[in-house]
C-alpha cells in the first residue's frame, strides 16, 4: 500500500459534531490499569499520527514503532527514540515538542495536541510499559460483576437476570440507566423465533408458549426452537456469507458448480450442534482427519468456494494463486476477525505481522490439488447407493487379495480420481495445443511435453481422453522426443465422448519429463484434431492372480465404476510429498515475482506460544482451535451477538485489530468467549441460549427521550434494538405467513420466480428455469446463487456478492427495497395468498379479518391506530375495484372477486409495514 495516503491525514477527537449538536460517546472505553495504558492510550496515537512513517511498511530514519524493542534500538540519528532513565531528554519527546516545524514530529500535518504529548510523557515516566492488543490476549476466566450492583434494578422488571445482564447492567449503572422492562410475550416470541430459526415459530410451539403461565415458559420455547431443523437453515445463511458459498464458478461464463452438498453439510452440522472447534476443523482439514468419511471431505468444500476462471486463454496458475490467497484472507477475516490481506504486499502497517509471515501462513494452503481446472479437480464422487456398496466390495476384495495400500490407491482413484496429472501442465507444443487453454489436442503429426511426472514403476497409463479417429498412435518417451519409450499404443475412438482408457507402459522409477508424440496418417489435414487428453492416472497392474475367477469380475467392476459419471463436489486434498508445491514470498505481493522459500508457520504475534507439530492444514487448525488462541472464540461469540443485537460487541466483525473498533463490553466478550470454549464446550446452541435467556435480550425496544439522550446509539443496550430483517427473512416471512413456504430441506439449489432476462452470461447455456411445485417456495437459503447475476431481491436487501468472504452485512434503507416488497411478483403472490387467509373464515367483519391477518403476522391484536389506515385502504380499494374489473381479474385466485382484490392489496400493504419488515 502506498504511504502517500497516510500522510495527509487529519485527526479527530472522539467528539462528533453534527449539525451543531455535540454528542459525547458514553464512557465505555476508560483506562483500567498500567498494563493497558499502552494499548488504550498510546497505541491509538501512534496508529493515527506516527505509524504511516514509522511502522511495518515504512521505517523513516530507521525507526519503527511496531514493537517495544525498536524504541530502544539506535536509529539513524545514532540514538534510540526513548531513554526511560531520562524520559524528558528522550528523542521522542524532544521531537514531538520541537519548536522548529522542520524538526518537529509528525513531519506533516499539525503538531500533537498537548493531551497527546502528555500521554507520551506519562508513558515514558511509567517506563514505557508495553501491552498486548486486547484481541490477541489469551482468554482467562472472567469474574461476573457482583449481584449487589445490579440485582433488582431492572426498571419495573421482576425477572431475574443472568451473567450477561450483570455485565450489561454494570455499564448501564455507570451511566445511570436501566434495562427496559421485558417485552410483551408476542414480541418476544417473534423476536426469538426470527433469531433462532429465521422465520416465525410453528403455530403449535407459538400457541403453547403464549398460553403457558409456567415461569419457565420462555425457556421451554427457546429449547424447542433450538431443536427445530429450521435452526440450521437460519444460521447456515450467516455462515455462507463467510464461506462465500455460491452455485457458480465466478468469472466470465460463470458456469454451474456442484457444491450444494457443502451447504447441506453446514445446515446439518449446525442442527446437530457440532462443537465449533470440530465445525471449523472439518471444514479446513477434514481430509486430513484419520479415516475421513465422505462428509469430512464435503466439509472441506468450504475453501473450494473460491471463484475460478474457465475463460479461454487464462493462466490457471494465476487463478489458483488467487484462490489460495483468498483462503488465507477468508480464514483470517471470517474465522479470526483479523485483517491479514495487507501483509500480502508488505509488513502489516498496524500489527506486528511481517510480510514473510503471510506466506508462511499461505504455505498451509498452497499444497492442494486444485489448479483452476474446468472439472474442479479434486472432487469427491457421489456414487448411487448400489454403486457405493459395490465400491466397498471391490476395496475389501483388493485388501484381501493384495495389500491395504493397494486398496487405498484403488479407492482413492475411484472415489476422488486422484492422483491425476492434468494435461494443462503441457508445453513444447508442436502441432498440438491446449485447446481453449483446457485440453491437450494432438493433430496429424504432433508432440508435446508434460514435465516432472513422478513414476513409481506403474504399468498402466489410464488416460481421460476423447477422439474421433481409430487410427492414431501415441508414443510416450522419457525426457526427450528421442528418449526411452515408456509406452506406445493405438488410440481407440471414443466417438467424441470423454472416457478413461488404459494403456500399457514400461515400469520406470523417478521424476521424468514425458514427451508425447502422436501420429495419425488417416487425418485429412494437419489441422484436424485426432486425440484429446484431459488428464491421466498412472497405476500398477490390477490386483489378483491370473486365473482367480473373481479377478475378472472385479476388474470389470472397477472399469464400470470408473466410467460412471456420478455427481461430485470439489474438495481439498493435498499433493503427495514428492509433488509438494514450494511456497515463495511474492515480492510486493506480485505473484509473478517470487522471493525466498518459506515453510508453513503461524504469525509470531498470534501464536500464543503454540507449538506447531503438523506443518499442514491440520496443524494450522489445531492452532486455531487451541484454547490459547482467543481469536476464534471471540470472533464467533461476537458474530452470534451481532446476529441477535444487530451490532457486535466489537462492531467491526471483520477486524479486531488496532484499526477495528474497541469492544463496547470487553469483559462480557471475554466472559462469553471463555464460556463458549469451556462451559459450553464450543456449543453454538448453548451460547445462543445463554444470551437469549438474558434480560438484556428480552427487554422491550421502546425508547424514552432520556435513553435517547444518554445512549443515543444503544451501544449500552438500554433497550432492545429494532433491526430490519435480512434479505432471506423478508422473503421467507412473506411466504410463511401466506402458507406457501415449503419446509423441504436440502438438495440442489432451486429457482423461484425471477423476471426474464436477468441471466445473460456470455457463452453460458444455463438458463434460469423456474422450479416446479414446492421448490418455488423453498427457504431463500436454497435459492440458486449465480455469482455474476445474484437473485435480484436478495441483493437489494443487502445480500452479499458471495465472491469473497463477507463478515458483516451493512444494512441500507432504499426505495428499491420498497419496490421489491410492493411489486415483486413473489411478494404479490404471497400477499394474494395471505389475503385469502384473512378471507377464509366466513362471517367475519372487515376489522376482524384484518385483525386475523395481523395475528398471523405478529400473534397479537392490532392497535386501532394501525387498523384504521388498513380499513380505509380496504374500503377505498373495494370501491375502486368495483369500477375496475380488469384489475380484479388479474388476482391469481379462482374466480376472483372484488373482495379478493381488496384483501390482496391490504395484505400487500401489511407485508410492507415497518413492524413486519423489522424485528422488534
Partner 1 sequence: MNNKRLSLAEEAHLLDAQLATRRLFLKQCSMGLGALAFSPLINACTSESNGSSNTLFDPTKPLLPKTPHLPGKAKSVIYLHMAGAPSQLELFDYKPELKKLDGQLCPESLLKGKKFAFIRGVPKMLGTIGEFKQRGQSGAWVSHYMPHLAGVADELSFLKAVHTDQFNHAPAQLLMQTGSARLGRPSLGSWVTYGLGSENANLPGFVVLTSGGQNPDAGKSVWGSGFLPSVYQGVHCRSHGEPVLYLDNPANVDGNMRKASIDAINQANKETYKEFNDPETLSRISQYEMAFRMQISAPDVMNISDEPAYIHEMYGTEPGKESFANNVLLARKLVEKGVRFVQLFDWGWDVHGNSTDTSLEIGLVNKCKQIDKAITALILDLKQRGLLEETLIVWGSEFGRTPMQENRNGLEMPFKGRDHHADAFTIWMCGGGAKAGTTYGETDEIGFYPVDGKVSVYDVQATILHLLGFNHETFTYPFQGRPFRLTDVEGTVIKPILS
Q: For residues 410-469, which are near partner 1 according to CB under 8 A?
A: 429, 431-433, 435-437, 441
Site for partner 1 in 480-539 (CB under 8 A): 527
The answer to whether residue 905 forms part of the interface with partner 1 (CB under 8 A) is yes
Site for partner 1 in 9-38 (CB under 8 A): 9-21, 23, 25
The answer to whether residue 117 forms part of the interface with partner 1 (CB under 8 A) is no
DSSP string computed for 743-773:
----SS-B-----TT----TT------PPPG
Give the H or E element holding residue 815.
helix 815-823
Give the H or E element holding residue 474.
strand 473-478
Which one among 86, 545, 613, 813 touches partner 1, defined by CB under 8 A?
Answer: 813
Query: What is the size of the binding site for partner 1 (CB under 8 A)?
Result: 134
CB-wise, 76 or 526, nearer to partner 1?
A: 526
Which one among 62, 816, 840, 882 touches partner 1, defined by CB under 8 A?
Answer: 816
d(CA 123, CA 126) in angstroms, rounded, equals: 5
The answer to whether residue 314 forms part of the interface with partner 1 (CB under 8 A) is yes
d(CA 775, CA 200) in angstroms, rounded, equals: 20
The 827-846 contact track toward partner 1, x by CB under 8 A, reads: -x---x--------------
CB-wise, 121 or 798, nearer to partner 1?
A: 798
For residue 597, with 0-12 CB atoms within 10 Å meaning exposed, 13-18 middle and 19 or more buried, which class applies? exposed
* 844 CA to centre of own chain: 49
The answer to whether residue 803 forms part of the interface with partner 1 (CB under 8 A) is yes
**CB 538, min distance to partner 1, A:** 27
| Three-state secondary structure call for residue 530 | strand
CB-wise, 269 or 831, nearer to partner 1?
A: 831
Site for partner 1 in 738-767 (CB under 8 A): 755-757, 760-762
Pull the grid cell for residue 494. 471414443
CB-wise, 204 or 756, nearer to partner 1?
A: 756
Give the H or E element holding residue 554.
helix 549-563
The answer to whether residue 918 forms part of the interface with partner 1 (CB under 8 A) is yes
Q: What angle do CA 795, 797, 803 make, to 5 degrees?
A: 35
CB-wise, 412 or 803, nearer to partner 1?
A: 803
CB-wise, 130 or 880, nearer to partner 1?
A: 880
CB-wise, 467 or 544, nearer to partner 1?
A: 467
Assess contact for 754 and 791: CB atoms under 8 A.
Answer: yes
Stretch that binds partner 1, among 133-141, 261-269, 610-618, 659-667 (CB under 8 A): 659-667
d(CA 45, CA 43) in angstroms, rounded, equals: 5
The answer to whether residue 251 forms part of the interface with partner 1 (CB under 8 A) is yes
d(CA 573, CA 567) in angstroms, rounded, equals: 18
The three state secondary structure string of 591-652 is CCCEEEEECCCCCHHHHCCCCCCCCCHHHHHHHHHCCCCCHHHHHHHHHHHHHHHCCCCCCC
The answer to whether residue 795 forms part of the interface with partner 1 (CB under 8 A) is yes
CB-wise, 265 or 350, nearer to partner 1?
A: 350
Residue 125: which residues within 8 A CB-CB, separation 6 or more? 87
The answer to whether residue 820 forms part of the interface with partner 1 (CB under 8 A) is yes
Q: What angle do CA 232, 236, 237 make, to 5 degrees?
A: 125
Which one among 89, 403, 522, 812 touches partner 1, defined by CB under 8 A?
Answer: 812
Site for partner 1 in 879-898 (CB under 8 A): 880-881, 884, 887-888, 890-891
Block residue for cell numbers 515538542: 97
The answer to whether residue 2 forms part of the interface with partner 1 (CB under 8 A) is yes
**CB 273, min distance to partner 1, A:** 30
The 715-734 contact track toward partner 1, x by CB under 8 A, reads: x------x-x----------
Stretch that binds partner 1, among 162-170, 455-463, 632-640, 864-872 (CB under 8 A): 864-872
Which one among 159, 311, 356, 775 touches partner 1, defined by CB under 8 A?
Answer: 311
DSSP assigned state of 585? E
d(CA 838, CA 854) in angstroms, rounded, equals: 9
CB-wise, 661 or 851, nearer to partner 1?
A: 661
Q: Which sign, positive or negative, has the C-alpha torsion 537, 543, 546, 551? A: negative
Amino acid at each position: 500500500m502506498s504511504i502517500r495516503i497516510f500522510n495527509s491525514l487529519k485527526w479527530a477527537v472522539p467528539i462528533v459534531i453534527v449539525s451543531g449538536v455535540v454528542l459525547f460517546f458514553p464512557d465505555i472505553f476508560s483506562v483500567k490499569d498500567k498494563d493497558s495504558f499502552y494499548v488504550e492510550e498510546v497505541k491509538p496515537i501512534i496508529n493515527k499520527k506516527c505509524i504511516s512513517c514509522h511502522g511495518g511498511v515504512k521505517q523513516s530514519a530507521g525507526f519503527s514503532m511496531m514493537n517495544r524493542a525498536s524504541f530502544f534500538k539506535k536509529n539513524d540519528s545514532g540514538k534510540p527514540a526513548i531513554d526511560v532513565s531520562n524520559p524528558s531528554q528522550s528523542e521522542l519527546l524532544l521531537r514531538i515538542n520541537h519548536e522548529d516545524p522542520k524538526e518537529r514530529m509528525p513531519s506533516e500535518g499539525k503538531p500533537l495536541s498537548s493531551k497527546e504529548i502528555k500521554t507520551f510523557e506519562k508513558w515514558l515516566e511509567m517506563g514505557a510499559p508495553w501491552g498486548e492488543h486486547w484481541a490477541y490476549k489469551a482468554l482467562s476466566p472472567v469474574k461476573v460483576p457482583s449481584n449487589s450492583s445490579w440485582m433488582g434494578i431492572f426498571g419495573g422488571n421482576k425477572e431475574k437476570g443472568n451473567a450477561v445482564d450483570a455485565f450489561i447492567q454494570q455499564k448501564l449503572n455507570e451511566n445511570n440507566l436501566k434495562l427496559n422492562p421485558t417485552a410483551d410475550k408476542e414480541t418476544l416470541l417473534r423476536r426469538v423465533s426470527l433469531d433462532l430459526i429465521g422465520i416465525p415459530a410453528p403455530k403449535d410451539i407459538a400457541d403453547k408458549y403464549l398460553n403457558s403461565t409456567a415461569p419457565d415458559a420462555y425457556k421451554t420455547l427457546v429449547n424447542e426452537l433450538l431443536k427445530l431443523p429450521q435452526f440450521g437453515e437460519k444460521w447456515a445463511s450467516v455462515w455462507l456469507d463467510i464461506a462465500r458459498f455460491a452455485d457458480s464458478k465466478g468469472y466470465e461464463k460463470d458456469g454451474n458448480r456442484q457444491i450444494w452438498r457443502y451447504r447441506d453439510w453446514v445446515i446439518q452440522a449446525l442442527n446437530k450442534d457440532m462443537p465449533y472447534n470440530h465445525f471449523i476443523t472439518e471444514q479446513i482439514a477434514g481430509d486430513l482427519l484419520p479415516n475421513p468419511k465422505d462428509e469430512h471431505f464435503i466439509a472441506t468444500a468450504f475453501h473450494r468456494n473460491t471463484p475460478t476462471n474457465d475463460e479461454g486463454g487464462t493462466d490457471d496458475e494465476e487463478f489458483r494463486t488467487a484462490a489460495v490467497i483468498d483462503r488465507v484472507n477468508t480464514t483470517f477475516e471470517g474465522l479470526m476477525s483479523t485483517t491479514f490481506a495487507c501483509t500480502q504486499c508488505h509488513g502489516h502497517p498496524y500489527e506486528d505481522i511481517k510480510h514473510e509471515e503471510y506466506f508462511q501462513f499461505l504455505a498451509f494452503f498452497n499444497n492442494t490439488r486444485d489448479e483452476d481446472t474446468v472439472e474442479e479437480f479434486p472432487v469427491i464422487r457421489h456414487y448411487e447407493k448400489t454403486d457405493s456398496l459395490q465400491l466397498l466390495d471391490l476395496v475389501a476384495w483388493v485388501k484381501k487379495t493384495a495389500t491395504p495400500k493397494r486398496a487405498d490407491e484403488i479407492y482413492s482413484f475411484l472415489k476422488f480420481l486422484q492422483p491425476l496429472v492434468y494435461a494443462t501442465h503441457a508445453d513444447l507444443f508442436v502441432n498440438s495445443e491446449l485447446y481453449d487453454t483446457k485440453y491437450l489436442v494432438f493433430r496429424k503429426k504432433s508432440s508435446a511435453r508434460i514435465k516432472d511426472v513422478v513414476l513409481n514403476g506403474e504399468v498402466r497409463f489410464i488416460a481421460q481422453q476423447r477422439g474421433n479417429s481409430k487410427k492414431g498412435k501415441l508414443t510416450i518417451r522419457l525426457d526427450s522426443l528421442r528418449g526411452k519409450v515408456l509406452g506406445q499404443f493405438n488410440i481407440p475412438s471414443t466417438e467424441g465422448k470423454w472416457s478413461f482408457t488404459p494403456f500399457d507402459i514400461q515400469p520406470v522409477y523417478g521424476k521424468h519429463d514425458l514427451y508425447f508424440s502422436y501420429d495419425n496418417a488417416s487425418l485429412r489435414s494437419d489441422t484436424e484434431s485426432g486425440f484429446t487428453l484431459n488428464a491421466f492416472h498412472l497405476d500398477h497392474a490390477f490386483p489378483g492372480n491370473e486365473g482367480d475367477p473373481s479377478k475378472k469380475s472385479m476388474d470389470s467392476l472397477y472399469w464400470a465404476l470408473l466410467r460412471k459419471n456420478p455427481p461430485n463436489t470439489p474438495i481439498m486434498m493435498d499433493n503427495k510429498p514428492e509433488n509438494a508445491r514450494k511456497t515463495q514470498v511474492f515480492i510486493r505481493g506480485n505473484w509473478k515475482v517470487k522471493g525466498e522459500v518459506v515453510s508453513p508457520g503461524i504469525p509470531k504475534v498470534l501464536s500464543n506460544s503454540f507449538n506447531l507439530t503438523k506443518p499442514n492444514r491440520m496443524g494450522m487448525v489445531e492452532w486455531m482451535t487451541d484454547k490459547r488462541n482467543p481469536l476464534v472464540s471471540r470472533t464467533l461469540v461476537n458474530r452470534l451477538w451481532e446476529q441477535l443485537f444487530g451490532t457486535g460487541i466489537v462492531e467491526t466483525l471483520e477486524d479486531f485489530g488496532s484499526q477495528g473498533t474497541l469492544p463496547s463490553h470487553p469483559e462480557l466478550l471475554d466472559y462469553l468467549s471463555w464460556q463458549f470454549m469451556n462451559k459450553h464446550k464450543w456449543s453454538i446452541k448453548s451460547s445462543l441460549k445463554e444470551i437469549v435467556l438474558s434480560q438484556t435480550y428480552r427487554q422491550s425496544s421502546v425508547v424514552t427521550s432520556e435513553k435517547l439522550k444518554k445512549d443515543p446509539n444503544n451501544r449500552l443496550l438500554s433497550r432492545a434494538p429494532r433491526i430490519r430483517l435480512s434479505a432471506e427473512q423478508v422473503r421467507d416471512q412473506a411466504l410463511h405467513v401466506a402458507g406457501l413456504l415449503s419446509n423441504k430441506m436440502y438438495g440442489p439449489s432451486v429457482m423461484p420466480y425471477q423476471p426474464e432476462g436477468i441471466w445473460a452470461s456470455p457463452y453460458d447455456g444455463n438458463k434460469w428455469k423456474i422450479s416446479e411445485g414446492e421448490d418455488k417456495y423453498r427457504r431463500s437459503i436454497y435459492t440458486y446463487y449465480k455469482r455474476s447475476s445474484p437473485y435480484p431481491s436478495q441483493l437489494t436487501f443487502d445480500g452479499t456478492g458471495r465472491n469473497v468472504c463477507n463478515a458483516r452485512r451493512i444494512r441500507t434503507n432504499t426505495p428499491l427495497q420498497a419496490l421489491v416488497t410492493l411489486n415483486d411478483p413473489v411478494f404479490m403472490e404471497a400477499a394474494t395468498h395471505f389475503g385469502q387467509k384473512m378471507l377464509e373464515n366466513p362471517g367475519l367483519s372487515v376489522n376482524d379479518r384484518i385483525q386475523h391477518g395481523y395475528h398471523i403476522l405478529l400473534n397479537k391484536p392490532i392497535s386501532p391506530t394501525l387498523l384504521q389506515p388498513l380499513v380505509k385502504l380496504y374500503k377505498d380499494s373495494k370501491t375502486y375495484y368495483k369500477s375496475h374489473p380488469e384489475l380484479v381479474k388479474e388476482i391469481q385466485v379462482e374466480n376472483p372477486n372484488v373482495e379478493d382484490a381488496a384483501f390482496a392489496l391490504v395484505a400487500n400493504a401489511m407485508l410492507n409495514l415497518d413492524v413486519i419488515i423489522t424485528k422488534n
